Structure formats: C-alpha cells, structure tokens
C-alpha cells in the first residue's frame, strides 16, 4: 500500500467534507445541516474542517460547485457513450434525467430553496448552476440537432422542467415506470415535431 502525500491527504479530506455536506443536505435539509453534523459524518475534528473551510457559507459554496461537478461529470460520461446515432437523444434525455435525480440533485434542491432568501448562498450557487446548465445544453444540442436556436432553447428548457418536476414528484411517490413513460412521450412528441 502506497502512503498518501500530505497534499493527497488534504484533498481526500476536502472531498470527504464536500460529500458529507451533500449527504447531510439530503438527510437533514439546509436548515438542519450543521458543520457539527458534517464533521461527525466524515469523522474529522473541528480544526480539520476549519482548515479547509473557514465558515459554513464557505463550505456550502464549495459544496455547490462540488455537486455541480459531480452532475456534469455524470452527464458528460453518458454523452460520450451516446454517440450521434438515431438513439442519441433518447440516451441523452435519460442521462439528463439521471443527472437531475438522486442525492446530488436533492442536495441542489435544498440549496436552491435556501438561496431564495440567502443572497450569499445564491451568489455562490448561480455560477455553478450556470456551468451545469451550459454542460447540459451542450450535450442536448449535440444529440437533438435543432437548427433554429429558439426552438432548441424551448425544447431544452421543456425537457429540464419536465425532468426536474419528475424528480420532485418521485420524492412523494415512487413510480419509476411513470417517469420512463413521460420521458418516452416527450421523445415521441419531439420526434414528430422535428420530422
């Protein structure tokens, strides 16, 4: 077993803190996520947390970007596998659905809601969400191949709104078959309108 360098150890601790913050947001919500809970979850001292993040706001700002990076990494990996064949948009739509679900999305929803009244959090959240939006739009445009920019924008935004809504509904009732049927219907409508 190779020993980690100090830099690698620091980076590993930082990653664990960011992952811990994300999961604490999912489990306890924004209001219930404290630095103490994150420390306990990750198993680090107060000093170790403060070494990486001087305040809760700084930790959440870093967590916002960490969550966006995880979601971007996910969607780009699927986009690389989707190719540009006739099934590419279907693969991308389901990949975006995957990126807009699960713990990273649930943590992001907590942060979005809190950012409505927390202007410092909103300032940290906007650049990360814009970066995520650009990455999602890029893979969508590559698969959808819509010539008219306005039509492309409306189709992309309608897909995102639908997928976000499906995830919100899923939190209240587990019905993955319905989500698949809704996405398939969106794809069928898209195909009819584009051809």
How confident is the model over 149-172, as a mean pLDDT?
90
Domain limits, the chain: 56-194
Q: List the one residue out of 129, 158, 134, 135 whose CA is nearest residue 80.
A: 135
What is the tens place of the pLDDT at every residue in 129-141?
898 899 999 999 9
The first and second tokens of residue 60, run together, are 């959440």
Q: Which CATH class is domain 56-194?
A: mainly alpha
* Residue 146 · residue 155 · CB < 8 Å: yes
What's this model's pTM, rounded to 2 decimal places? 0.82
Which residue in the block uniquely carries the two structure tokens 């540009």?
A: 84
Encode pLDDT of 36-72 as tens digits.
999 999 999 999 899 998 888 888 888 888 888 888 8
Where are the alpha helices (H) located in the chain, listed in sequence order?
6-32, 35-42, 46-52, 56-82, 88-99, 102-115, 119-144, 149-172, 176-194
């Amino acid at each position: 077993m190779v020993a980690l360098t100090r830099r690698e150890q620091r980076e590993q601790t930082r990653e664990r803190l960011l992952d811990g913050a994300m999961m604490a947001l999912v489990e306890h919500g924004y209001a219930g996520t404290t630095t103490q809970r994150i420390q306990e979850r990750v198993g680090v001292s107060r000093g170790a947390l403060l070494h990486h993040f001087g305040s809760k706001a700084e930790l959440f700002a870093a967590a916002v970007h960490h969550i966006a990076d995880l979601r971007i990494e996910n969607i780009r990996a699927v986009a690389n596998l989707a190719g540009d064949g006739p099934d590419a948009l279907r693969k991308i739509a389901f990949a975006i659905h995957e990126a807009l679900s699960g713990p990273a999305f649930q943590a992001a929803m907590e942060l979005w809601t809190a950012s409505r009244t927390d202007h410092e959090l909103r300032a940290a959240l906007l650049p990360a969400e814009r970066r995520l939006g650009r990455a999602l739009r890029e893979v969508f445009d590559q698969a959808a191949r819509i010539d008219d920019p306005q039509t492309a924008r409306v189709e992309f935004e309608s897909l995102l709104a639908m997928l976000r809504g499906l995830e919100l509904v899923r939190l209240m009732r587990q019905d993955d078959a319905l989500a698949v049927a809704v996405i398939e219907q969106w794809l069928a409508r898209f195909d009819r309108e584009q051809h």
